[in-house]
Amino acid sequence: MINTAMTAPLVDRFGRVHRDLRVSLTDRCSLRCTYCMPADGVPWLQSSTLLTTEELVRVVRVAAQLGIRSVRLTGGEPLLRPDVVDVVAALAALRTPDGPLELSLTTNGLRLSGLAAPLRDAGLTRVNISIDTLDRARFIEITRRDRLAQTLAGIEAAAVVGLAPLKLNALAMRGVNDDELGDLVAFAIERGAQMRFIEHMPLDAGHTFDRANLLTGAEILTILSERFTLTPKDARGSAPAKEFWVDGGPGSVGVIASVSTPFCDACDRVRLTADGQFRSCLFAHDEHDLRTPLRAGVDDVELADAMRAAVLLKKASHGIDSPDFRQPDRPMSAIGG
């Protein structure tokens, strides 16, 4: 007999069915990007609060029974987790009624040249690599670290071992890298990758976000159109990026305009922080503690109920435009970007 308590999907009050789980493997990062963290970092999570690999795999296994089909590992910097290859192998071994999970990872690429092959062998299929600039001095200014060469080596390694499709992410910032957007697109296309530009979101620990200074998705497209002919691809479904063919294809570019053009209606994402808090939105103020019940020995049905209860509280939208919008207490690096 089918146990409906274990199969009823993660549906919210607005009928959105959740299929995508972002799992943060650590809140620590090897860079100190100005739009994300202060120069001195932020107070790190205590290691005793971090989910063990066994605990996080269990949460994902239960989530997969509730309809989750894709899992993206993130952080902080997920490749700083010492057992990241074991985490990937354990998640790749899980089976859903539709087969294995689609497993991807978002990284700054610094440790990828050594890890790309082991991660692929463990079952990782895709990576998104963050690179905001191709200029070394600018990279140092943005990230406060002299590590552009490692990120570039990580990108090459991902391409060589066949982690595909390869996506490169840049935060597009007025007066910082807005003169480089076309070069980043060309760089990505030369490597068979897709460049994606993200709008700055109010999620940084230093609270530097300034709406008045936002480089919007529309402005990003205007800048790119001066150099390329952009043709919209088909409807994006629940994917955050709106995609365009570049000069007729096969290369393409994506724009993630979460602030100026929210796509909350189609959101199918939920999140698990490295310390075991389940979140229904990046911008949510409420978190649902799964770590305490996990460690208290609850069964899978209770874990599933906790996830469904969290999803039922999901708001219609992130509310950035609302006059009473307040940034979440935790920064992006601690939630899992």
Write out the residues near ligand SAM by the rule CB under 6 A.
29, 35-36, 74-75, 77, 106-108, 130, 169, 171, 198, 200-201, 203-204, 332-333, 337
CB of 129 to ligand SAM, least distance (A): 7
Q: Which helix (H) or strand (E) holds 306?
A: helix 300-312
Torsion sign over Cα 306, 89, 16, 204: positive
Output 80 or 161, the one with its CB closest to ligand SAM. Answer: 80
3-state secondary structure 134-198: CCHHHHHHHHCCCCHHHHHHHHHHHHHHCCCCCEEEEECCCCCCCCCHHHHHHHHHHCCCEEEEE
| Buried/exposed code over 209-246 (b: 16+ C-beta within 10 A; e: otherwise) | beeeebbbbebbbebbeeebebeeeeeeebebbbbbbb
Output 211 or 295, the one with its CB closest to ligand SAM. Answer: 211
CB of 40 to ligand SAM, least distance (A): 17
- Under a CB-based contact definition with an 8 Å cutoff, are residues 60 and 24 in contact? no
CB of 151 to ligand SAM, least distance (A): 9
Output 108 or 277, the one with its CB closest to ligand SAM. Answer: 108
Output 89 or 259, the one with its CB closest to ligand SAM. Answer: 259
Q: What does the radius of gyration of the chain's CA atoms come to, in whole angstroms?
A: 19
Output 61 or 200, the one with its CB closest to ligand SAM. Answer: 200
φ and ψ at 121, to 5 degrees? -65, -30
Output 65 or 107, the one with its CB closest to ligand SAM. Answer: 107
CB of 216 to ligand SAM, least distance (A): 13
Cβ neighbourhood burial of 100 (10 Å; 0-12, 13-18, 19+) = middle
Both tokens assigned to 20: 């995508």
Furthest CA-CA distance within the chain:
62
Separation of alpha carbons 140 and 146, rounded Å: 5
CB of 145 to ligand SAM, least distance (A): 12
From residue 97, give the alpha-carbon distance in Å to each of 10, 33, 187. 16, 40, 39
CB of 37 to ligand SAM, least distance (A): 8
Output 66 or 127, the one with its CB closest to ligand SAM. Answer: 127
CB of 138 to ligand SAM, least distance (A): 14
Separation of alpha carbons 68 and 268, rounded Å: 9
Output 238 or 327, the one with its CB closest to ligand SAM. Answer: 327
Cβ neighbourhood burial of 159 (10 Å; 0-12, 13-18, 19+) = middle
Output 33 or 294, the one with its CB closest to ligand SAM. Answer: 33
Q: Which residue is nearest to ligand SAM (CB)?
A: 337
Q: Which of 290, 293, 279 is nearest to 334 (CA)?
A: 279
CB of 77 to ligand SAM, least distance (A): 4
CB of 220 to ligand SAM, least distance (A): 13
3-class SS of residue 214? coil
